[in-house]
Amino acid sequence: MPFPTTRMRRMRRTGALRGLVRETQLDAGDFVYPLFVTHGTDRREPIEAMPGISRLTIDHVVAEAAEAVALGIPALMLFGIPDHKDEEGSSAWDEEGVVQLAIRAIKDAHPELLVIPDLCLCEYTSHGHCGVLRAGPDGLPSVDNDATVELLARTAITYAQAGADMIAPSDMMDGRVGLLRAELDEAGFPDLAIMAHSAKFASAYYGPFREAAGSTPAFGDRRSYQMDPANGDEAVREALLDVQEGADLVLVKPALPYLDVIRRVKDATGMPVATYNVSGEYAMVKAAAAAGYIDERAVVIETLTSIRRAGADVVITYHAKDAARWLSEME
């Protein structure tokens, strides 16, 4: 006797049936497109490991903003590449810094586009760590959590004044979400949202980004403040803490090796969850596609769909423009 046709198989027979019961929708409206902003004018410096992505001067950033709007991408994330780095990362809170100027320029040209500056010091410090250093108990330099949080808050205020819609602290210092919320409220920015990098893992997938941002730590690594890739319970605890401190969205980073964490954080918090499909994830897809080993378009759509299915409401991805274009062609 043949096996009877299952309900599942019946509903897979045509595209119309599959569409009718599809559980996860992939939409450009859920993408955030990251950009690297540098000083000067009319320069695009390609990043070798990330084909299609460049360090951009502000005029080019504004051009990218127009493209994002045309493609239905609602938000940009900004990373600054300053021309001056020092021990403290003082360019981060410069009112005329690259990110502050870029926020103003984007908001002038496209007020409806959401601008989300990354908030961290690693792109601005000469040593490449995410905070300021002091001698630890063993005499070796380590990141000074509380001093760093103060500097982050100072930086956040300058982003708010420039017109940012949301800030995304990616430093992983303790207590920064609570302090940021309090200082932003006090400075008159109660509506500025916080997308907290709650579970940011000490990942090898950040390699191409650090090349792009010139933010590879000069010594040591980030394992004393970023999370151990082996820990899922801890990620949930970090997310719950950030929610308690006032985070509006909680973020898991990277995305693909941590899909289980995305799902757990979503279930445990019930909050909007964002994730960052990082530079190394992008570089692998681009390299395999360039070699002709995979179908880039199909792999990107499948990957982003899997990230959404895992529970991410918001996906920060370097594929955003391509994916938005492909999705509109598939309609």
Is residue 194 helix, strand or coil? strand
176-210 in b/e form (b: 16+ CB < 10 A) is: bbbbbbebbeeeebeebbbbbbbbbbebebbebbb
Of the residues 99, 122, 167, 177, which one makes contact with Zn ion according to CB under 5 A: 122
Q: Considering the rule CB under 6 A, would residue 54 count as an interface residue with ligand PBG?
A: no
Catalytic, 253? Answer: yes
Nearest C-alpha neighbor of 120 from the set 170, 83, 78, 155: 170
If the CB atoms of residues 91 and 215 are measured against ligand PBG, the closer one turns out to be: 215
| CA 18/CA 20 separation, integer angstroms | 5
Q: Considering the rule CB under 6 A, would residue 279 count as an interface residue with ligand PBG?
A: yes
Nearest C-alpha neighbor of 113 from the set 28, 41, 226, 175: 28
Given 107, 253, 266, 286, which residue is catalytic? 253
Q: To the nearest whole angstrom, how small is the minimum distance from the Cβ of residue 16 to ligand PBG? A: 38
Q: To the nearest whole angstrom, how small is the minimum distance from the Cβ of residue 229 to ligand PBG? A: 13
- Per-residue binding string, ligand PBG, 153-172, x by CB under 6 A, is -----------------xx-
- Whether the CB-CB separation of 307 and 262 falls below 8 Å is answered with yes
If the CB atoms of residues 101 and 122 are measured against ligand PBG, the closer one turns out to be: 122
For 263-330, the DSSP string reads HHHHHHH-S-EEEEE-HHHHHHHHHHHHTTSS-HHHHHHHHHHHHHHHT-SEEEETTHHHHHHHHHHH
Of the residues 78, 130, 243, 320, which one makes contact with Zn ion according to CB under 5 A: 130
* Residue 156 binds which of ligand PBG, Zn ion, none (CB < 5-8 A, kind-dependent): none
* Residue 148 binds which of Zn ion, ligand PBG, none (CB < 5-8 A, kind-dependent): none
Of the residues 120, 143, 157, 194, which one makes contact with Zn ion according to CB under 5 A: 120
Contacts with Zn ion by CB under 5 A: the residue count is 3
* Residue 209 binds which of ligand PBG, Zn ion, none (CB < 5-8 A, kind-dependent): ligand PBG
Q: Considering the rule CB under 6 A, would residue 278 count as an interface residue with ligand PBG?
A: yes
For 50-69, the DSSP string reads STT-EEEEHHHHHHHHHHHH
- Whether the CB-CB separation of 246 and 194 falls below 8 Å is answered with yes
If the CB atoms of residues 120 and 196 are measured against ligand PBG, the closer one turns out to be: 120
Catalytic, 286? Answer: no
| CA 131/CA 61 separation, integer angstroms | 27
Residue 98 corresponds to which amino acid?
V
Q: DSSP label at 140? A: S
If the CB atoms of residues 264 and 319 are measured against ligand PBG, the closer one turns out to be: 319
| CA 82/CA 98 separation, integer angstroms | 6
Q: Considering the rule CB under 6 A, would residue 215 count as an interface residue with ligand PBG?
A: yes
Of the residues 65, 78, 116, 120, which one makes contact with ligand PBG according to CB under 6 A: 120
Rule CB under 6 A: which residues touch ligand PBG? 118, 120, 122, 130, 170-171, 206, 209-210, 215, 222, 278-279
Q: Cite the active site residues.
A: 200, 253
Residues that bind Zn ion in the complex, under the rule CB under 5 A: 120, 122, 130
